[in-house]
Amino acid sequence: MKVGDQVPPLTRRIELATLVRYAGASTDFNPIHYDERYARAAGLPGVIGHGMLAMGLVSEAVTDWVEDSGLVRSLTCRFKHPYHLHDVLTVTGEVVGIDDGIAEVALRCVNQDGVEIIGGASATVSNADRSDSDV
C-alpha cells in the first residue's frame, strides 16, 4: 500500500427492498425511509435513504479493499446530502498518507449526478499483518 493507491469503486443502486432490509437490521423504522406518502407529508420530495446505510457502504468499500475488517482502525464521515430511491451510490477512496504503518484513506460517496452524499470521510487502516505491503 502506498500514497495514491485507489480504493476500488463500490456502486450500489438503492431500491425499496434495500431500505426495508436495512431498517430491519438497524431497527430504524422511521417511515420516511420506506413510505412515500409519509415522506411527502413530512415535506420531503419522497423516501430518503438512511444516512448510516450510506456510511455502511463506505465501510464496505474499505473492508472489501483491505480484505480484513480487523485492519480498519477508524472510520469517520460527514453526511452532506440525502439520497433517494433508485439513486446509484458510488464510493471511492485514495490513500493520502502513511505514518508508522497506518494508512490514511480519504473517501467519498456520490450519487449518479455527482452529488456528494458523504464527504470528508476518512479511514485509518493498519496493514502490518500483510507481508506483501510497503506499510
Handedness of CA 117, 83, 111, 126 (dihedral sign): positive
DSSP 25-43: HHT---GGGT-HHHHHHTT
**Per-residue pLDDT tens over the stretch 43-99:** 999 999 999 999 999 999 999 999 988 899 999 999 999 999 999 999 999 999 999
Q: What percent of the chain lies above the pLDDT cut of 90? A: 89
pTM over 0.85: yes
The CATH classification number of 6-126 equals 3.10.129.10
**pLDDT at site 68:** 87
Determine contact, residues 127/133, Cβ cutoff 8 Å: yes
Task: Give me the amino acid identity at 37.
Answer: R
Residue 9's beta-bridge partner residues? none
Determine contact, residues 67/91, Cβ cutoff 8 Å: no
Which of 96, 108, 94 has the alpha carbon at shortest distance from 65?
94
